[in-house]
Structure 1
Amino acid sequence: MATLTPDQRVAQLFMVAAYSNKTRIDEDSVSTLIQQYGIGGLIFFQGGPVRQSKLLNRYQSQAKVPLLVAMDAEWGLGMRLDSTTRFPYQMSMGGVRDTQLLYDMGQEIARQFKRTGMHVNFAPVVDVNNNAANPVIGYRSWGENRENVTAKSYQYMKGMQDAGVLAVAKHFPGHGDTDTDSHLALPLIRVDQRRLDTLEIFPFRNLMRRGLGGIMIAHLNIPALDSTGMPSTLSKPIVTGMVKQKMGFEGVVFTDAMNMKGVISKYPPGDADVRALIAGNDVLEFSKNIPLALKMVREAINRKELSQADIDARCRKVLALKQWAGLDHYKPIELKNLYQDLNTSHANYLTHKLSELSVTVLRNQKDLLPLQRLDTLRIATLTIGTRDTTDFQRMAADYATVHHYWLSATATLNELTQMRETLKPYNTLLIGINNLGRLPATNFGVTPETNILLRELTGQKQKVIVSVFGNAYAVAKIRDLERADAVVLAYQESKNAQDVTAEIIFGGISAVGKLPVSVTDRYTNGYGLVTKGGIRLSYGYPEDAGMNPNFELRVDSLMNQALAAKAFPGCEVLVARKGRVVLRKSYGTHSFADSPSQAGKPSRPVLNTDIYDLASVTKVSATLPSLMKLQDEGKFNPDMTMGQLFPEFVGTNKQDLKLRDVLTHQARLKAWIPFWQEYTRPKGFFNRLFGKRPAAATVSAKQPSEMSRRFFRPDSSGRFPLQVADDLWARKDFPNRIHKEIGESPLNEKPGYVYSDLSFIMYPAFVKAASGKPINQFVQDAIYKPLGATTMGYNPTYRFPLARIAPTEYDSLFRHTQLHGTVHDEGASLLGGVSGHAGMFGNANDLAKVVQMYAWNGRYGGQQLIKAETMAEYERCQFCPDNRRALGFDRPANNPSINSAKDASPRSFGHTGYTGTYFWVDPQYDLVVVMLSNRVNPTRRNNKISDLSVRSRLLQTAIEAVKSERPQVESTVPKEE
């Protein structure tokens, strides 16, 4: 203070606007104000975090007194900066009951402020929004109830200030009941002082008493407080008389932006600044003309309209604030890892959780939500207002088979009619109203065409669920919502809001949000229906499930090590705890960059929607659930014999083998039989048969055998219907031949555990005989369709583009081609890709649904798909300690790196697949771990996935991330209704 001249003390009271997305000329103009005039602070607006931090380091290096740095970041840095977290709007969170999360949000926003060198947040908005036509506050307010506004503002304020960032409540004395935007004109508040005192001022007074550090004065004309018509920012009766004297506020008083027309339309720059200081404001934000303002302030002091003593007192207050913010020990912003430090798992968790608790169900006729019996639904999604696939549509597709449609908000009558006809075959419509506006003047973006279409689609036999991704007040503008079967209000169009809406519709989570404002006579403040959740997987972050928030970073490290070692080209990892998917992430590419099959082309990055050959995981994701389902129907039990299941085995050495021994791999069956070797001919035949080799066969590889024309052809036909590979088809009697060879095969001489494929090759024949359906159809109807496991199935190229399927091996021994979309296992390929031991394809999300059904004792989506007692029988170890196996499932080995993890519980179970696939369930930790890879690309000789114990290390990492140290966790298994 003692080092500053009188003029420099005046300059400390000014904050100017700064941007990190403008030109060097703009940046230099701010530098001039810092160096030449010694301004006290900056308020940053648009740009990016790294650019802003570099610029702020420059500005701070030029300042004699460190700069006080602020931002209007009502919903976090993402309100102004790209690549940063955007928390929900305040109105979105107005109905959230858990105010502790708002405190946590304040703490996190403050942490991000400090990481980027900022000290003051012009938030929270404490205006009570009791005017639906408010053009400037609206969704920025917590709502219309003063106690609700106060309670939530306090938690947000306290969270920030406890973490060392000043909170500034705005816009005093209350901007909630206005119909004019103060950016454009001066709003008139037509209420008496008693109303102001009991409603608008109530939150401000409460926060002042509880430690509020800053307040922002609005540009308002309030005759009840100042009859002169002076904007409140320039009103001494309001700023000094009411705020400082009557209310006794001793914190820092900021003006609203001094470039807004609500003030400068009548009082030009310079004059407005002088009047603001005379009124009693401590800091002037966004002054338009600093040189002029400082000159006019000095003249006002000379005229004794202002006193230097008052200026000095305010300057001292600003310096004290800077000291409180740590600027007496100023350090430049560290740029290293800035992006990572801002975008943490904890920040993502908070914003997702707040969205989850916000979304509000307004209508739910006959408890339609959450949707039941997916196998009976024909679902279409229709997005009104955009032509792009939305996050809501993508999340809906993660739950069920859906078909997406789009329509402009201003569609023509012909387009509306055509869309109505297009949607007729569906019995369930998920309609999302997107791209809505924020302003009442635009009807909040709700168009007449939207209302016409909704009227045409509702009230029919179809079930219609309408989701509003926009302002709460938009609900009042959408006619005929009462004709819809369900209505969900998401408040905004963020990814989190859209994802959460889909999760509520499908029962991943419950709807618990409440309206913070009244939007119609029916939908009033506090209204909101509760729906049932936890019947299907939901999606969130480790903290949602009591796991270490750094879990993802640890998995990233593990997978990046595996990729660096070339254990596999790419993979997908999914980890769920308590039914919540806490990690779902893909790594790497479809093929190695130096793979011969790439021919110099860049390989496709792996996506979460990609599909993998599950190899032996087929046994426990297709065959085993089919057998369990048939057991529930009384058609199978593990104490039957192979002779009872397979008539052709009567009279053979397999007739009396008990299925309990077979399913635990101790029935003395051979491990496998290389069937294909009997149906090939010496080298050279392939050329004569096809005339030339496939392009992929130019890859250097040992090719000891080629196809016999008697059994293989390059084209399909009635005699050769079984696809073995691209342009290679097998004779239709191969299943009978293979079954016969299995029946004639010898048994192992010694009893004991030997993992075998042979019985699983046979089970599809039994499933068809017992159910009347081939196994691919039976498991689809009985398991996958009810689960919504849309990618699970055999022969994926019949249903999906090749680009979505991860390639496996270059088969140099049998098929002499790159395997892509056809099954890797040779025996399964001779069966047309449909077998009980291999052939299943799917993505991690859909396999996780099967696995979560196991974890939930056969229940999923509100249906008991497999009886709980059946699941219990199949999951338990049958012959421990001599044989670790359950019925079909694997159990922890003595060496845990083989299949599980050192801390896996004895109750855990799962399975591995030859192509690099894996899942494991640990009931003790309520964990499900899925990993899919194509480690056999380009060759099966790459066994680094096992050498590095990647899968067991993944499971161990997940177990270690579980925070609870209790040996048991509360069960999350859905109960019967």
Structure 2
Amino acid sequence: MKNYWFAFIIALTFSGSVSAQKNTNLSAEKWVDSVFNTLSENQKIAQLMVVRMSGLKNGRPVFFDKEVEELVRKYNIGSICLFQGGPLQHAQRVNHLQSIARTPILVTVDGEWGLGMRFDSVQSLPRQMMLGAMQNPGLMYEYGKLVADQCRRAGIQVNYAPVVDINNNPDNPVINERSFGEDKKKVTNFALQYMKGMQDNGVMASAKHFPGHGDVSVDSHHDLPVINKSRTELDSLELYPFRELIKAGVGSVMVAHLSVPAIDKTPNLPTTLSVNNVTHLLREQLGFQGITFTDALEMQGVAKFFPKGEASARALIAGNDMLCLPGDVPGSIAAIKKAIKKRQLNWKDLNLRVKKVLLAKYQYGLANWSPVSTQNLTEDLNKGISTLRRRVAEDAITLLRNDNSAIFPLTAGTNRRVAFVGIGLKKDNLFSARMRSDYDAHTYYFDYTRGREKADALLQVLKNDYDVVVLSMHGYNRVPARNFGISEAAVYLATQLQQQHQTVTVYFGNPYAMRNSCSGKVLIAAYDDDPITHETAADILNGKFSAKGKLPVTVCEGLPSGSGLVQQRLLPESWPGNLNLDLNMLSQIDSICEDAIAQKAIPGCVVLVARDGKIAYERSFGTYSYTDSTRVYCETLYDMASVTKVMATTLSVMKLYEEGRLDIHRRIGDYLPWTKGSDKAGIMIKDLLMHEGGLKSFIPFYRETINPLDGSPNGSIYAFRPDSVFSVRVAENLYMRADWNDTLYARILQSELGPRGKYIYSDNDFIFLGKIVEAISGKSLDAYTRETFYQPLQLNATGFTPRTRFPASYSAPTEEETIFRKQLIQGDVHDPGAAMFGGVAGHAGLFSNAYEIAVLSQLLLNKGTINGIQFFKPSTVNLFTAYNTKNSRRGLGFDKPEKDNHIREEPYPSASASPETYGHTGFTGTCVWIDPKYNLTYIFLSNRVNNNGDPNKFLRMSVRPKVHEVIYKSIKQ
């Protein structure tokens, strides 16, 4: 029986934990037995107790807790729970207590949103209600991993998280925004990922508060809540997440202080002390064999009816393993021994529980404990928090209603007159500052101490002077009591503003408070009231990215759980594991990108990985430049540079080829009559596609148009303002004569021609191909690609000349260009030749974001069909994406891996790319690689030439190939 018990617990409960066996000669069972045999009766009982350790006593800071030290020395208590205090202070205390303890101490923490929930000097992570608005379970796993990293670094083995309570009572005073929401499947899914993120990375999770604390209106810290639900109702809702987490191997469960008559009708008996709840329901019916922790026994939900020692004894009688915060340790030991004498408890059962606790200590590294290092501890505990907070905000912020698309999104620089009203504010915050900088808004503040007359006065001021009012709610309470602390005057002001003005309303905090604004025509839930959320909300208002969140709870009849206006995408997101990809391995991409940014190889980037038609990884990093703190989003537009060759020009050539309008075995002169008489007319189209036509690789057209002495533009060719003559936009305040376009083509025709059949990568090949597409189709390359590919696939961001469609701020600035245009290039094509062609050319000029390039990539992976539309026959895709020449690695238009990659010192594009792979790179720091062997797409977008002084550092660091290789390593065999 004993061997079976050990095997079962190791396999089920602790399968995800980091192992300590490698540093000890004893097996788990031998170590547990060896420690157990040293314990006295009192010490065995004390091993089942979790004692509070706080840096505060009676509100005053204390360095060492003499009471806890005495409990360790005198009783050999089994566990401590860390509360308030600083990281260094706690580390020193843990090290000290572990050093004097006869038996290693299991260190726990109640860190639902990370150690910042308890430790000063450590940032908090977002709370679970905000997390519940996300649609990305992979991010929830990363959240759990980060919390586990924090805990391990601080010497903590158990975190009392996740909360799996389903908050179906909006007036819940104790759970509320600590819950993922009211949807049992969403709560369960996210709790599972949080649990796995912790347990896969060496920290025990604890599902709480059993049997479900979400539907209460009484705080169990102060009294005993009663849940009057039938067992059938409990089974279908409250118990559902516990059942699923138990199946998945959660290490522990925390039992709540509730009165649930459907489980136990005994008056005033908390579920913590109920045999029916702990033993019969949790153990026998749900099959949980891990560790049970009681909720704090000092809480009035239990202490009101049971004195400290009695509560401890009754909790063990009920079937619990560990007693959280029993208060009176010696009194609890005495009461427990008294219960043993009365045969309410027996030593056989207690011994098994003690061994279970010892086994947990072994499994979580305490058999070979080493002190917590205090060097850089606070910095380490804060590592990655800001980045994760940002990613959560991007994923969670919810656009609930947009009944006035004329004012949302409200792009920066609008000529509308904008007022900002910050309710709950007395002074500036980051959001109000952005309202001024983005819209030149007049700002007004109205805190909750002001009365109705002040509200009326403000309404009068705002009455006729503004086109748009941005209204935001700040500083309200997290709990629902007294309407979250929002005054009647504030509610009146918000309601009147929404009725009298075109208003955008943003709530920064608990979403339940939005019941005060259910009639708002443009309504946004932002969930938190911190600078990162402020900035993210300002960017979503600005239109820099699309809202992704959905409301996790029902706010009012018109705003039920699941509400949220989100962009429908052809490629759905999926948990990497569902695509046979290892998330932990994929997460190494983060380090590569963050290191490249830190080393000033790139200021920012976006990486996307898709497999089997689903997005496994889509992430943005960094800022627009090292002198521009504007954040990069996944929706940020990038200059695709030479990726234009495949995602615009080659696609167009393929379409015309398939339609029989273009023969790749015919010659340039057959399609472009103006080339006849030149040595370029006889070049075969196929040779252009393979860069074997003999054309020069690059012609610096701009050089003859600028003054050779000072680089100033030639006044006969350029003007600073457009008119009927100077109509070709080259950059901001720089327009070229339209007739100079003919000169550009003349220079190509006059250029020296090299031997045919030799591979020379040339932009001129694709300039010709772009013109051939235009000649056959009768449309500009911009119009043809938009109408043929981008519009049918609803790719609104993809196209040429983005400044005709979007504000310049939507595009990452490519470079502070100093030679030709002498300005920051943002939203205009970086390539000078393409710029002189008006931003539309066959070799460069396309702008897009990672997702939309992924859609085009999936079209090719699907052999020409996507979303029920057939663009190409499979044979066309196969022809163009295969090796087509002996002279190089090229396909038709597409780049491919080197044929001898397996022996190359620097394989291209990466060592593991299969020979079936095809794609292209771009000078600006972009690439797309498509591998049919693994049904895989990899996209990397950056502006590596921007503002770092060494644009080639990006190439020397092999950033793109390193990311590519990580993706292949993430594929599970």
TM-score, normalised by the number of residues in structure 2: 0.64
Cα offset for 1:341? 11
Q: Which residue of 2 aligns with 1:736?
A: 742
After superposition, the C-alpha distances for 1:215-260 in whole angstroms (9 at most, x for unaligned) are 6462659899788x76648x9xx65899689999999886543443
Letter in structure 1 aligned against 2:607: L
Q: Which residue of 2 aligns with 1:755?
A: 761
Corresponding residue to 1:324 among 341, 359, 376: 359
Q: Which residue of 2 aligns with 1:955?
A: 964
Cα offset for 1:877? 3.7
Letter in structure 1 aligned against 2:224: P
Q: Which residue of 2 aligns with 1:186?
A: 223
Identical counterparts, % of pairs: 28
Change (3 A) 1:707 1:899: farther
Letter in structure 1 aligned against 2:605: E
Corresponding residue to 1:886 among 879, 885, 891: 891
Letter in structure 1 aligned against 2:585: F
Matched, 1:929 2:968: no
- Secondary structure of the 2:62 match is helix
Letter in structure 1 aligned against 2:223: L
Change (3 A) 1:445 1:678: same
- Secondary structure of the 1:662 match is helix
Query: Is 545-554 or 20-29 further displaced after alignment?
Result: 20-29
Q: Is the contact between residue 924 and residue 943 of structure 2 (CA under 8 Å) also seen in structure 1?
A: yes
Change (3 A) 1:882 1:159: closer
Matched, 1:572 2:610: no
Q: How many residues align?
A: 880
Matched, 1:663 2:679: no
- Secondary structure of the 1:42 match is strand
Structure 2 matches for 1:959-970, cutoff 5 A? 959-963=968-972, 965=973
- Secondary structure of the 1:920 match is strand
Matched, 1:872 2:860: no
Q: Is the contact between residue 166 and residue 214 of structure 1 (CA under 8 Å) also seen in structure 2?
A: no
Cα offset for 1:738? 1.4
Cα offset for 1:42? 1.7
Letter in structure 2 aligned against 1:272: P
Structure 2 CA distance, aligned partners of 1:629 and 1:244?
68
Cα offset for 1:913? 3.0
Matched, 1:582 2:582: no
Q: Which residue of 1 aligns with 2:813?
A: 805
Matched, 1:61 2:61: no
Corresponding residue to 1:904 among 906, 909, 913: 913
Q: Which residue of 2 aligns with 1:371?
A: none
- Secondary structure of the 1:179 match is coil
After superposition, the C-alpha distances for 1:657-691 in whole angstroms (9 at most, x for unaligned) are 4434433333444434344455566xxx63xxx7x
Matched, 1:920 2:946: no
Letter in structure 2 aligned against 1:273: K
Q: Which residue of 2 aligns with 1:703?
A: none
Structure 2 matches for 1:399-548, cutoff 5 A? 439=479, 441=481, 535-538=569-572, 542-543=576-577, 545-548=579-582
- Secondary structure of the 2:808 match is coil
After superposition, the C-alpha distances for 1:592-640 in whole angstroms (9 at most, x for unaligned) are xxxxxxxxxx797984577655433333344444556677898766466
Letter in structure 2 aligned against 1:25: V
Structure 2 CA distance, aligned partners of 1:388 and 1:680?
47
Matched, 1:15 2:50: yes
After superposition, the C-alpha distances for 1:718-745 in whole angstroms (9 at most, x for unaligned) are 4555566788765443211112233344
Gaps of 5+ in 1: 366-381, 394-403, 592-601, 691-705, 966-977
Matched, 1:836 2:842: yes
After superposition, the C-alpha distances for 1:910-934 in whole angstroms (9 at most, x for unaligned) are 2233444432222222222233455
Letter in structure 2 aligned against 1:15: V
Change (3 A) 1:753 1:570: same
- Secondary structure of the 1:787 match is coil
Q: Is the contact between residue 789 and residue 847 of structure 1 (CA under 8 Å) also seen in structure 2?
A: no
Structure 2 CA distance, aligned partners of 1:514 and 1:802?
27
Structure 1 CA distance, aligned partners of 2:783 and 2:245?
67
- The RMSD of aligned alpha carbons is 7.4
After superposition, the C-alpha distances for 1:329-388 in whole angstroms (9 at most, x for unaligned) are 35135549999999999xx99x999x99x99999999xxxxxxxxxxxxxxxx9999999
Gaps of 5+ in 2: 1-35, 404-419, 435-440, 449-454
Structure 2 matches for 1:16-95, cutoff 5 A? 16-19=51-54, 25=62, 27-29=64-66, 31-34=68-71, 38=75, 40=77, 41-45=79-83, 52-72=90-110, 89=128
- Secondary structure of the 2:107 match is strand
Query: Is 902-911 or 87-96 further displaced after alignment?
Result: 87-96
Cα offset for 1:179? 2.9
Cα offset for 1:576? 1.2
Q: Is the contact between residue 926 and residue 940 of structure 2 (CA under 8 Å) also seen in structure 1?
A: yes
Q: Which residue of 2 aligns with 1:375?
A: none
Query: Is 743-752 or 435-444 further displaced after alignment?
Result: 435-444
- Secondary structure of the 2:964 match is helix
Q: Which residue of 1 aligns with 2:451?
A: none
Change (3 A) 1:613 1:38: same
Cα offset for 1:872? 1.9
Cα offset for 1:26? 5.5
Q: Which residue of 1 aligns with 2:643?
A: 617
Matched, 1:260 2:304: no
Structure 2 matches for 1:329-344, cutoff 5 A? 329=367, 331-333=369-371, 335=373
Structure 2 CA distance, aligned partners of 1:56 and 1:444?
38
Change (3 A) 1:560 1:232: closer
Q: Is the contact between residue 217 and residue 253 of structure 1 (CA under 8 Å) also seen in structure 2?
A: no
Change (3 A) 1:69 1:787: same
Structure 2 CA distance, aligned partners of 1:209 and 1:794?
52
- Secondary structure of the 1:889 match is coil
Structure 1 CA distance, aligned partners of 2:958 and 2:280?
70
Structure 1 CA distance, aligned partners of 2:745 and 2:291?
85
After superposition, the C-alpha distances for 1:870-896 in whole angstroms (9 at most, x for unaligned) are 962773348444565434222333354
Q: Is the contact between residue 16 and residue 286 of structure 1 (CA under 8 Å) also seen in structure 2?
A: yes
Letter in structure 2 aligned against 1:646: L
Letter in structure 2 aligned against 1:618: T
Letter in structure 2 aligned against 1:135: P
Change (3 A) 1:131 1:360: same
Structure 2 CA distance, aligned partners of 1:92 and 1:890?
41
After superposition, the C-alpha distances for 1:258-288 in whole angstroms (9 at most, x for unaligned) are 4434456x68xxx932443464658653356
Cα offset for 1:804? 4.0
Letter in structure 1 aligned against 2:964: L
Q: Which residue of 2 aligns with 1:286?
A: 325
Structure 2 matches for 1:263-274, cutoff 5 A? 272-274=307-309
Q: Is the contact between residue 94 and residue 148 of structure 1 (CA under 8 Å) also seen in structure 2?
A: no
Structure 2 matches for 1:578-727, cutoff 5 A? 578-582=613-617, 584-586=619-621, 590=625, 607=632, 613-625=639-651, 638=664, 641-655=667-681, 657-679=683-705, 686=709, 709=714, 711=716, 715-716=720-721, 718=723
Q: Which residue of 2 aligns with 1:699?
A: none
- Secondary structure of the 2:609 match is strand
Letter in structure 2 aligned against 1:642: I
Cα offset for 1:851? 4.1
Corresponding residue to 2:797 among 760, 775, 789: 789
Cα offset for 1:580? 0.9
Q: Which residue of 2 aligns with 1:399?
A: none
